[in-house]
Amino acid sequence: MKISSETYDQLNKLLQKSFDCNAIADNFAYNIDYMRYPNIGDIYHHSFAHAFPAFADRISPIMIELNARPIRIGLADHTEEYRSLYDVFLNNDLMVEDYRDTIKKTIEVAELNDDYEVKIAMENFLNDFLPYVKQADIWRNKAQQYSEDPDNFDVHFKDFTTFIEVVE
């Protein structure tokens, strides 16, 4: 293995976090669909929730190139019920910040262990993740603004999705 064991462990934690965020985001999407907001549910699920496994697919090749075997650490169940779009998007924003912190922790660990290839790759990854950070913030803000008129939020959700690509 061409990286330290500490960086290896942290990369596997980031992989786990990627899949965990996908599971959390899927639960958000299911709640949105259950509340009957089809536009939000479709865009959120396909454009945002599905991004997290793709993020994992950016991490694992770096590990392979450095002779480190990625592992799939188990995930918790995510069965929480949300009663409002604001609750969903507030928690989505918190999830995104936690993921961002995990990326930054990976950068720190790599730097402390002189694993510069990982540090540089994760810095690039963090920059590529920033549109998702901004998008989560916008959605949380708009969900709060439209808390009295969530049907109108559903109608205009695509208009509020400006920092990430809308997958249809």
Q: How far is CA 112 from the centre of its chain?
A: 25
Q: What's the Cα-to-Cα distance from 115 to each of 37, 51, 99, rounded to whole Å?
A: 45, 26, 21
Residue 156's pLDDT band (boundaries 50, 70, 90)? very high
- Phi/psi of residue 98, nearest 5 degrees: -65, -40
In angstroms, rounded to a whole number, what is the distance separating the alpha carbons of residues 161 and 121? 27
Q: What stretch of H or E contains 85?
A: helix 85-112
pLDDT digits (tens, 9 = 90+) for 29-62: 999 999 999 999 999 999 999 999 999 999 999 9
Q: Is residue 48 part of a domain?
A: yes
Q: Give the mean pLDDT of 69-78.
A: 95
Q: Which residues contact 76 (CB under 8 A, 6 or more apart)?
A: 20, 23
In a domain, 147, yes or no: yes
CATH number, domain at 30? 1.20.1260.10
Question: What is the 8-class DSSP label of residue 69?
Answer: -
| pLDDT value of residue 168 | 78
Look at residue 107 in the predicted model and tell me its pLDDT.
98
User: pLDDT tens, 102-114?
Assistant: 999 999 999 999 9
Angle between helices 85-112 and 5-34 (to 10 degrees): 170
* 76 belongs to a structural domain: no
Q: Tell me what the mean pLDDT of segment 104-127 comes to.
A: 98
* Dist. CA 100–CA 128, nearest whole Å: 11
- Show the tokens assigned to 120: 């540089």
Q: Residue 166: inside a domain, yes or no? A: no
**Neighbour tally for 57: CB within 10 Å:** 11
Flag whether 165 is in a domain: no
How many domains is the chain partitioned into structurally?
Answer: 1
**Domain extent for 53:** 5-69+81-160
pTM: 0.96
